[in-house]
Structure 1
Amino acid sequence: MTSTPPAPKTDDVSHDLVRLLRRLADDGGESGLTLAEIRDRLDERAYGLLILLLSIPCLVPGLYGVPQVVGLVIIVIAAQLLLGREEPWLPGWMLRLRARQSWLNAMADFSEQRLGWIDRLSRPRLLMFSTGFGERLAAVFMILATLTIVLPLTNTIPSVALALLAVGLIQRDGLFVLGGCAIATAWIGLLSAVGVGLLIGADWALRLLPGAA
């Protein structure tokens, strides 16, 4: 008697992201969910889903405090994706961080009002940019975008880049990954230009001071 070999694991990309976020909010109860509990509810797309969940609160313009803490977690997760780790690992103190129920509800409400287009438009395509080397490339841009999130009052645009990159990995949509890379590149270029302009302006002002004196 021969046993039937197990069916190969399929790469399921049919995620309904809005429904997933609502389910997390419903599961939170009054006490909310720890990051460990959220991670345990995710599937093979844990990297993309975790980063998407963490990037949503950072989309709020001018938010200070939350992006700085969340950004550290995103960098830790993206670095592991860059190194090729199959599943994300987080230190105990991060896993014990708790998302309050009010935050989970607000996140689910926001996704239902603003993110429904993701499920309608995303689909597997341009797989070279969302699998293998493409995942590593996305991780690099995630880290670069997150480094700008931790700066005060600069969280919204890089968070959009993060959300697009995360969706691209979740849905295996290389077009979303490329969109996220483009936004991250443009934003980093703008900040760099502003920084260089400030340095040149400061140097010019310092050169004028002796003459004015």
Structure 2
Amino acid sequence: MTGNQDKDPDNQIADIVETIHEIRDQKETSIEAMIDHLGVASFTPILLFVSLVIVTPLSGVPGLSSISGMLIAMVSAQLLMGRERLWLPAFILRRHLPRRKLDTALSRLEGPLKWVQDVTTRRLAVLATPPFSYLLYTICLLCGAAMPFLELVPMTSSLLAAVVALLSISLISKDGVFALLGLTGLATTVAMVATIGQLLG
């Protein structure tokens, strides 16, 4: 299972759309099979794909938000370390997703991804390139690491996944506008969790 870090960014979102078609055509529903398909692109599209899945109804599958959060954290960490080969533990790779729910989730991703492909362009690219890009990957890591602990708090996993998705889109397309949207979403999520914590306290 390999991933070449950040090939031509103009093609990667299109690669993900094509990969969704491939995954829907196959019978295998393991996370390993899906990651193998995404291996033709790079680490960052894996972040985008996994985070988008958690925004869909698949987030209701017990334990999936936690598994996906760990996956996001590990991919982000390996990106920050500059690894060229992605390593993931077997207990994550063996996880299978319900076929019907997976098909529904993937069908809902195609339209938004095609829209993103049409609207993204190089704007405020400084926000999506080093050294600022390292901050975005660090935020993705922290969001993923937080998901297992916040899974029981309504909507937080989906909101954190949306932040990761927006930051991933920015990093793939070098569109700083999506980075700003992701950071705004992060601030909103943190404020919401803090408010819930105060209410429960």
TM-score, normalised on structure 2? Answer: 0.76
- 1:12 paired with 2:8, answer yes
Q: RMSD of the TM alignment (CA)? A: 2.9
Q: Could you say which residue in structure 2 is the equivalent of 1:133?
A: 131
Q: Could you say which residue in structure 2 is the equivalent of 1:162?
A: 164
Q: Could you say which residue in structure 1 is the equivalent of 2:35?
A: 39
Q: Could you say which residue in structure 1 is the equivalent of 2:95?
A: 97
Report the alpha carbon displacement of residue 158 of structure 1 after superposing the two structures with TM.
Answer: 1.7
Which runs of no fewer than 5 residues in structure 1 stay unpaired?
A: 1-9, 200-213
Greater Rg by CA = 1
Paired residues of 1:161 and 1:183 also in contact (CA < 8 A): yes
Higher helix share: 2
Report the alpha carbon displacement of residue 180 of structure 1 after superposing the two structures with TM.
Answer: 1.0
Q: Could you say which residue in structure 1 is the equivalent of 2:175?
A: 173
Q: How many residues align?
A: 190
| Separation in structure 2 between the aligned mates of residue 39 and residue 60 of structure 1, nearest angstrom | 18
Is 175-184 or 21-30 further displaced after alignment? 21-30
Which runs of no fewer than 5 residues in structure 2 stay unpaired?
A: 1-5
Q: Could you say which residue in structure 1 is the equivalent of 2:196?
A: 194
- 1:48 paired with 2:44, answer yes
Report the alpha carbon displacement of residue 148 of structure 1 after superposing the two structures with TM.
Answer: 4.5
TM-score, normalised on structure 1? Answer: 0.72
Q: Deviations over 1:164-196 (max 9, x none)?
A: 011112212222122212211221132123313
Q: Using the aligned pairs only, state the percent identity.
A: 23
| Separation in structure 2 between the aligned mates of residue 124 and residue 96 of structure 1, nearest angstrom | 38
Paired amino acid for 1:198: L
Paired residues of 1:48 and 1:166 also in contact (CA < 8 A): yes
Paired residues of 1:46 and 1:87 also in contact (CA < 8 A): no
Paired residues of 1:142 and 1:162 also in contact (CA < 8 A): yes
Is 44-53 or 66-75 further displaced after alignment? 44-53
